[in-house]
Amino acid sequence: METVYDEHTNVSSYVVDDEREYVLQDCMVRHLWCMIPDYKSGGNVTKCYYADGTDELVHRPMLRLFYDLAKYLAVDLRALHNTMGQRASYNQPRTLSVNMTWIPFKTRKPVGKDGAYGYFNIVVPFTYMVSHGPTEQQCYIHGGHTEPILLLHPPTYVRRKLDAAMMEHRRYVRRILEYMRLCGNPDVLAELYIACHFHDN
């Protein structure tokens, strides 16, 4: 395995394998909004959707990719708590950064112990739409410019979980802003401004 050091995030990250199948920094730069487990390529891989309208297959199991992403962002999923101080369980929103709060939805019937859940980022430049699926216990979620994704949940459940994830993210951002206000250091706000305009340079 190769370790890559990124000067912008200032973290040493476990991001690239020997064949360079994927680089986790792309998840940040291209704004990853969905990753779902996939069998279509002949293996247990992950299909990733980006806000720029592109998608790609990552030759890694979905949960492995999610854990690698958390590690890249210096987040310990085993110790992760929500903004209410509760341990984040498998079906609750998980915030990894200010632009990533993930909510899991069941997207397939797994084979053996393979994962069944995909993860959807609530912090996206569009509004998720939910429509009825083939049965009452299924629905489609629409995001970006991609084809609808089938979820093995009823529509009311999915809408409720999306609302809960957005509320969790808002509390997370408010807490960060409150910490910044309490520090009373104008340089902190200046750094935030620079970071927000990074892509303009």
For the chain, the domain total comes to: 1
- Count the Cβ atoms, other than its own, within 10 Å of residue 7: 5
Q: What angle do CA 86, 36, 174 make, to 5 degrees?
A: 35
pLDDT at 12: 32
Q: With beta carbons less than 8 A apart as the criterion, state whether 22 and 58 touch.
A: yes
Could you list the mean pLDDT of each consecutive 10-residue stretch along the chain, which spans 201 residues?
Answer: 33 38 64 86 80 84 86 80 64 87 90 82 92 95 89 96 93 82 73 62 46
Quick one: how far is CA 139 from the chain centroid? 20
pLDDT at 86: 63
Q: What is the pLDDT of residue 201?
A: 46
Give the C-alpha separation, 90 to 74, whole Å.
19
- 12: three-class secondary structure by DSSP: strand
Three-state SS for 112?
Answer: coil
Tell me the whole-structure pTM to 2 decimals.
Answer: 0.77
Strand partners, 2: 16
Of 118, 125, 122, which Cα lies nearest the Cα of 149?
118
Judged by DSSP in three states, 161 sits in: helix
What pLDDT, on the 0 to 100 scale, is given for residue 65? 86
Which domain covers residue 97, as residue numbers? Answer: 2-200
Q: At how many degrees (to 10) do helices 186-196 and 155-183 cross?
A: 140
Inter-residue contact 31 to 125 (CB < 8 Å): yes
By CB neighbour count within 10 A (0-12 exposed, 13-18 middle, 19+ buried), where does 59 fall?
middle
